Structure 1
Amino acid sequence: MNEIIKNLLADFGIPIFYVKLVLGLVISFFITFLSIPTIVKISRRKNLMDEPGTRSSHLRKIPNLGGIAIFYSLAVCASIFAFELFELYKFLFASLVILLYIGVMDDIVVMRAYKKLIAQIIVTALMVIGSDVRIRSMFGVFAIYELSYTVSVIFSIFTFIILINAFNLIDGIDGLSGGYSVICSALFGISYFRLGEFNYPLVVLSGVIIGSVLGFLYYNLSHYRNNKVFMGDTGSMILGFLLAFTAICFMDIFIDKELPDVPRYYLQTAPAVAVAILILPIVDTLNVIIIRLVKRQSVFGADKNHIHHSLLELGLTHRRSTVYILIYYLFIVAVAYFFRQINVNILLFIIMTLGFVGAYIPKIILKTRKKTN
């Protein structure tokens, strides 16, 4: 059947890749878009709502199970239009299902931190060990190149867990985590597309992520109270996991592996470019940890030391805060792309410096205002 469809499309001069990409993006959008109203209705009826808390920036109860719709559209569209990934990475779908379960449990009854951590370790171990999705080389970062298998596994599991939880931490204002995941997926998708047709399934996956999140953002950014929804831990963990997966796959492309009929590429600064694309959750998490350690507070506690909280204190709305953050970090990605041929350690230093500058600009402006007043 697949060959018949390919032949029909070939007769019209249409590559099947473009059909998969467009259909994956469009259908995933509509699945999320059409699923969320039902989820919101059930959430309100069963009182499955996010209560305003210590680090919350909203003042009323909002349904927080939007991540279920994101998972639904991803599971359907990725398995149809990017099925090659599930053949290549045997535990990818199982990992998504486990994350769905622990995410929904946490959104409804709030799981203990150590239980979530154990589940995340299991999920990432399945991917790193079972599907061999791991960081094999540091490309000269701190003069480290190829990693031994054991070190590679431990470091990759650690990276997955950090990025999953870091992405969860930026999910504090309307549109930020959704908008950022759309941008990251678009950047990785464009990179995969430019690196050749062997990576096309990852391009389609990026398109499916974009479509599903855009469907969610329509409601997340809604001005109508009855339509508004959050992605919750379900959505943030799944998206954080998928972005970590695509980032590691991106770095893996530039490793010289003995695979037949696969083009070889090499970019010394691949880790720095990947960090630039994921700079917001990385810097935001490091910034919060540093502040908590300086104040001798628990690094696992909730507070309002995140970048988006600083912008809200300046009097900006959720939407404006989101736009400013996204524009600034797109600037960092542009810098990384422009200087991608320099030494990897120098580029990584530039990216991290710019990231922390962006994190502290709102705090400096706030302190200046308080002094003048």
Structure 2
Amino acid sequence: MGEDYAIPGQEYALVFAAATLVTFLITGGVRAVATAIGAFTPIRDRDVHVRPTPRMGGVAVYLGVAAGVLMALQLPRLSRAFESSSEIKGVLVAGAVIVLIGVLDDRFDLDAVTKLAGQILSAGILVLFGVQWVQMWVPADNPEGGTTVSFDSVQGAAITVLLTLVLANAMNFIDGLDGLLTGVAMIAAIGLFVFSVHQLVVSKDDTSASQPPLIAAALVGACLGFLPHNFSPARIFMGDSGSMFIGLTMAAATTSAGGKLDTSTFGGRSTVALLAPLIVVLAVVFIPVLDFLLAVVRRTREGRHPFSADKRHLHHRMLAIGHTQRQAVLIFYLWAALLSASAVSLAFVTDAQPVAWLTAAGVLVALTLTLWPWARARRLRRSRAGVG
């Protein structure tokens, strides 16, 4: 493969373009089918939309990702990603299963146990196709500053299934505003793409190391193609078919990039750089998992079922303090970009201090924008109270 590795940028661009174009063009047809079969999101008390909107958008996203993968099969360098492993095929097969479960739920509202069984089945298919954690680098008190922990097949499979379940349900939790899940998933996938391309360049392995960026590139394109249909005011929703498929795809790409990180290739890189895959995972799931945990704790303390619905998710609170739907979604995009960029940048630097300062500045800006309507309303109330 040569001393210097050249990134196949044009080929990744073709994968991205194919996924974007196919998703954008086919979403209208999916919307028509969803309307014809009655796969609508009903108007519930906790919802923010005001008219029945068709679901099943995940079908279009899946077909877009599949188109990107099929495009890669026709390209000389990216086709090598299919030679050493069947992981990408596993993403398509498992994705088809979880999208089918999601479509049934979008139409018939399946119970939680049935959906969980479908998620476990899909995650198990990923494992059968070789998508599982093999080793993980952890910090330790030794001259090398860390050690590599290896997993057997059962442990690796369990971690993969658990990560898939967490991401599939976390992505579902964040899907509450028009374009929110689509944009956050796209930003997170961009972060994974950048990191996994960096890993590819360092390892110079255009077989197994080229699988994560290929999956990520196809997902970025599919999300971008779907976003014009889904941004406020949305004409079609992701539905469970979309949120669960995106969660599964993100889990597969993250596992492939982080779970199989070759520590010997990275040699004496800093501890922070070697931990970057784990940081990327935390950045990807931070917003939906935080929302998920807060919701479970809140409902449990109130004596309700932890998975019962309410109108106090993070995105509901954003609307309550005065943001419009579009403002709330754009602010969530900012937080997602800040987290992903901060995590991925650690893989490119040996000194984490500049990244920490830039992240702190970004957090300050994001907090200011997030709380501005609340602060303004509070100042107005105080002003009126003073006049009164």
Instruction: Compute the displacement of 1:254 (Å).
Output: 2.9
Match of 1:33 in 2: 24
Of 203, 217, 224, 2:213 maps to 203
SS in 1 for 2:8: helix
Q: Distance in 1 between matches of 2:215 and 2:129?
A: 20
SS of residue in 2 equivalent to 1:91: helix
Structure 2 counterpart of 1:136, one-letter code: Q
Q: State the identity as a percent.
A: 22
1:11 is matched with none
Task: Please report how far the alpha carbon of residue 230 of structure 1 lies from its aligned counterpart in structure 2 after TM superposition.
Answer: 0.7
Q: Which residue of 1 aligns with 2:295?
A: 288
Q: Distance in 2 between matches of 1:210 and 1:74?
A: 9
In the alignment, residue 98 of structure 2 is paired with which amino acid?
L
Superimposed CA distance per residue, residues 192-247 of structure 1 (whole angstroms, 9 cap, x where no aligned partner) = 11222533343232222111111111111254xxx711111111111111111112
Aligned to 1:232: 239
Question: In the alignment, what sits opposite 1:73?
Answer: 64
Amino acid at match of 2:172: N
Q: Distance in 1 between matches of 2:263 and 2:343?
A: 22
Q: Secondary structure at the match of 1:137?
A: strand
| Among candidates 41, 44, 50, match of residue 59 of structure 1 | 50
- Segment of structure 1 superposing worse, 163-172 or 90-99: 90-99
Query: What SS does the aligned partner of 2:259 have?
Result: helix
Q: 1:276 aligns with which of 275, 279, 283?
A: 283
Query: In 1, Cα distance between the equivalents of 2:134 and 2:315?
Result: 30
Q: How far apart, CA to CA, are the structure 2 residues paired with 1:214 and 1:17? A: 21
Determine if the alignment matches structure 1 residue 17 to structure 2 residue 4.
Answer: no
The 1-side partners of 2:213 and 2:341 are apart by 20
Is the Cα–Cα contact under 8 Å of residues 18 and 67 in structure 2 kept in the other structure? no
> TM-score w.r.t. structure 1 length?
0.79
Amino acid at match of 2:159: F
* Matched residue, 1:155: 159
Letter in 1 for 2:86: L
1:100 alignment counterpart:
99
Alpha-carbon distance in structure 1 between the residues aligned to 2:68 and 2:253: 17
- Give the distance between the partners of 1:170 and 1:204, measured in 2 at CA: 25
1:188 corresponds to 2:192? yes
Are 1:29 and 1:214, in contact at CA under 8 Å, matched by a contact in 2? yes
| Residue 146 in structure 1 maps to residue 143 in structure 2 | no
2:252 match: 245
Equivalent residue number for residue 219 of structure 1:
229
Question: How far is the alpha carbon of 1:151 from its aligned partner?
Answer: 3.5
User: How far off its partner does 1:148 sit?
Assistant: 4.2
**For residues 85 and 283 of structure 1, what CA distance do their matches in structure 2 show?**
35
Root-mean-square deviation (Å): 3.4
Q: How is 1:301-312 mapped onto 2 (pairs within 5 angstroms)?
A: 301-312=308-319
Q: Which residue of 2 aligns with 1:88?
A: 86
CA deviations 1:237-266 (Å, max 9, x no partner) are 111111111122221243447xxxxx4466
Gaps of 5+ in 2: 1-5, 74-78, 141-145
Distance 1:222 1:323, change over 3 A: closer
CA shift in 2, pair 1:300/1:252, >3 Å: same
Contact 2:106/2:239 (CA < 8 Å) preserved in 1? yes
Could you say which residue in structure 1 is the equivalent of 2:3?
A: none
Shift of 1:337: 5.1
Match of 2:36 among 41, 45, 48: 45
* Rounded Cα–Cα distance in structure 1 between residues aligned with 2:230 and 2:71: 27
Is the 8 Å Cα contact of residues 28 and 211 (structure 1) preserved in structure 2?
Answer: yes
* Cα distance in 1, alignment partners of residues 147 and 48 from structure 2: 41
Distance between the aligned counterparts of 2:215 and 2:157, measured in 1? 24
Equivalents in 2 of 1:292, 1:31: separation in Å? 41
Distance apart, 1:328 and its partner CA: 2.4
> Equivalents in 2 of 1:178, 1:163: separation in Å?
14
SS at match of 2:49: coil
| Separation in 2, partners of 1:107, 1:240 | 16
| Structure 1 letter corresponding to 2:93 | A
How far 1:315 sits from its partner (Å)? 2.5
CA distance in 2 between partners of 1:301 and 1:235 (Å): 21
Is the CA contact 1:128–1:134 (under 8 Å) kept in the aligned structure 2? Answer: no
The one-letter code sitting in structure 2 at the alignment partner of 1:88 is S
